[in-house]
Structure 1
Amino acid sequence: MLRLSLALACLLAPPAYAQMRLAEGELPLGLVDARLLPGWTDAAGNRIAALELVLEPGWKTYWRSPGDSGLPPSFAWDGSDNLAGVVFHWPAPEAISSGGAQELGYHEHLVLPFTASPTDAALPLTLHSQIELGLCDNICVPAQLDLSAPPPGTLPDSRIKAAMADTPRLVEDLPECRIDAIEDGLRVEMALPSETPELAAIEVEGKPDLWVSGAEIEMRADGPVAVAEMVGPEAAPFPLDPSALRLTVVSADDAVESFGCRLSP
């Protein structure tokens, strides 16, 4: 079934978020605590730090690619000093219920590690971030945070190391895939490496203007397959390089991801 109307709706607006005005210093509804963990500086001069969110019981927040209509977090780094770039290390996502649909995210507590690279490794690197994200229980609220990290510690933080250990492991074997044109975009199928997948996500690197549906897992005779639809601004088929596809698969005892795929003959 084509998803044009849903895709356009999601491109234009996030889910129905309750709007509310916050007093200065007040946390958004659903959040108990939000901070940047100071982390440490590695041998190359990079800062290893993390965003930590503590949510009210029952509340959820979203992964980087949550599904059909979730609101992924976004980060700006205005006010940081000596910062060249940031790379996030996303822990394996969990299934969350958002507005009656299954999305991908985290329940009640999130430590999201990142590596901050300095412009000059000989100078101090300070971190200040403006963060927008969605928080959901029976309703969804937009959260806007303005956080600064304390100076880095001298030893690695066990909370950050544990979250980094929970990131999906990279597999180099490329999955087989199939890319077909549909009326308003593309349908992508990717073979899954696990025989018992619980969650899957298909992303496209370098195409932020694409709407990508949540991946549905289909159990077939030759193994499980993740299926997603993609719609661009033109609402028409478009060329897609298979090497731009990113697959994440979560099973009961493992989480893996791969970059690129082999087109089925």
Structure 2
Amino acid sequence: MSLVTRIATAAILVAATLGSASAKEWKTVRVGTEGAYPPFNFVENGELKGFDVDIAKAVCEKMKVTCTFVAQDWDGIIPALLAGKYDVIVASMSATPERAKQVLFSDKYYNTPASFIAPKDTKITETTPAGMKGKVIGAQGSTIHSSYLEDVYAKQGIEVKLYGKQDEANLDLANGRLDAILADKIMLMDWLASKEGACCGFIGPEYKDEKYFTPVAAAFRKDDAGLAAMFNKGLAEIIADGTYKKINDKYFPFSVY
């Protein structure tokens, strides 16, 4: 072996050694979720539960890691990830291009449309900006739904109110302080089936504009690509072996994938 070949081989070995040494070995993963977005994530008897939580637990099992869960208010959920409060967000976060500038997204784990709801005695006959003229409409802030309302409705002079939590918007609708709400249709179905949601019902079409209503994925820090790859592998496995369907069927009478 020539001197040049020996030097090149040694350099390759050193690089490989450094690479393996620097790669993080994940044994415990901290999962951030909101805990205020039923049926996807909520708190019951002091414990985080819901579709997001069950999906995360199933993927963690495939990843062979121990997962712990952290509740975080929605408007600070990405900053807390970047600050190291947890390692991954599994909280019904849509994988938008704007968010992708800050975080690394996994493959999608569900995709559902948005819809408006309004009081059952509403006089709204169409949900276009023209049909909503003079109305006050709401959404949870820092979501794809608020972005859509701000871009499409507020620019047409429609008053848009944003809330820190979805429950706060729902309460204002039930109490007559809003004329309509735009949110994830599946989440709204859960609320409409409750005693508090009996006031209201769906109006207008489903909204699926891919510019705004992108699929839901888990979010990671950009330097944790290895963890994201592990998550994607685990997600593919629970889809393939039927675990995903069992979780889906626990919460919904149709596929949300």
Q: Which band: TM-score by shorter chain?
A: under 0.3
Higher helix content, 1 or 2: 2
More contact order relative to length (CA 8 Å, sep ≥ 6): 2
**Higher-strand-fraction structure:** 1
Q: Report the TM-score, using the length of structure 2 for normalisation.
A: 0.24
After TM superposition, the score normalised by the length of structure 1 is: 0.24
